[in-house]
A and B are shown apart, each in its own frame.
Chain A
Amino acid sequence: MRKIAIMGKTEVSLIVVIIVLMAVFSGFGANFFSYYNLSNLLKQAAISGIIAIAATIVIISGGIDLSVGSITGMSSILVAILMARYNFSIWLAIVIPIILCTIIGLYNGIVISQFRVPPFIATLGTMTMVRGGIELISEAKTIVGVYPTFASFSTEAIFGIPKMAYIWIFSAILVAVILKYTIFGRNIFAIGCNEEVARLSGINTKNTICAIYALSGFLCGIAGVVLTSRLASAVPTGGQGYELSSIAAAVIGGASLSGGQGSILGTFLGTFLITLITNGGIHLGINPFVMDIVTGAIITIAVVLDQLRRRGP
């Protein structure tokens, strides 16, 4: 029930933790609540936030997508190449990579649903292949020379909130609406709970799984575009590390790796919390490696608390 309700206990406790942490950070570091820092925080969270939404959809369906980082990287490098090498118009240079990433996601879905390859293996293969592709087309070099109008997108804000953050928020709302109000969304939960039950209930599970991974690819495509805008260039290692941090955000937000459970609001808050810890740590001058330890511990604690609460009667 709580995975469909707008706000469950996981989300409430996350909000409490976030508020407490923000209070602590602002108490210790004077500049924490500065506009500059807060907007920086949102920018940092935006890209990993979009990828974490992609990861959440897949996790709810009982799968896992290890290729999110590579797909994001592919989108990022393609945007830069289309602009710097081939002078594509700004819109084509954005749309083409996103379409391509959606197709890569669809490919994941086909391998998983038609050929019954476990998602972990299928997306591990894709992750490696796509990363190889990135190195190949970029010749393992940083691509510079994106259009200034494109790069400036990441520095602009509307009503004081960075434009990047709007993309994150819109993606979250879009997916949350899909999960709550559409047949596709219900089918994702059903498949995650028990794929055989879903199939025998007349759900076209193969098509649904394809759509799930395609949607994941689509969101990573968007994340890649935002990443290039923020860096004003693209690096061959772009997106690396997101495959695991996105899972972490989803899990902190209450998603269960066994499927059928998870919420976009939870993932949104999970991403925010992880970013907040890193950002606050830097602000307080704590060694970033220590903050990694803290983040790791939070992942474990979040799941332990969830398990304890679920055990119930």
Chain B
Amino acid sequence: MSCDDHTIQNDSASVEATFGSTIKDNAVVKGFVTIIKNEGKKDEQVLCKNKPNLLTNDGRDYAIAQFYTNTSAGGVGENFIALTSDSSGADATDSTLPSEITTNGLERALATTISHSTGTNSTTLNKIFTASGTHTAVQMSGTFNQLAVGGTIGHEAVFTSVTLASSDTLSVTWTLTLG
């Protein structure tokens, strides 16, 4: 089936089936990831556009704890963005981002943009990383609830592998929906 066949369908059930392989067990929380190298520059490269992400099992548990089971003050949102060159792929059972990058500008960071539109179920996180050294085969991103390595991983998404030289930028945008 071609891409055109998908885009002309209005049957939402078919769309769900298309996304099912990556977010099948966490259908209430969905999201899309867009990652662009050197956005706005002559050598801009879109590594993935509006790609469905994966909500990890830990992320689902964390959300449930915030909503239903915590009996003390709530936790920090899953608004820290991390990157890795690990090629094992996104996995709902991950409790860390494997081989998370911790140096040269691509270390975990608080999203620069955190935006929610009132009356909708949509939230956007964005961070533009600037490499301060060479990074080879960067290909997966995740969200966490703290700045330091560790914490609870919320989402993961794989994108086209990319190598960054010093001063290259990587714009990571998570558009997340809840409910």
Chain A partners chain B: no
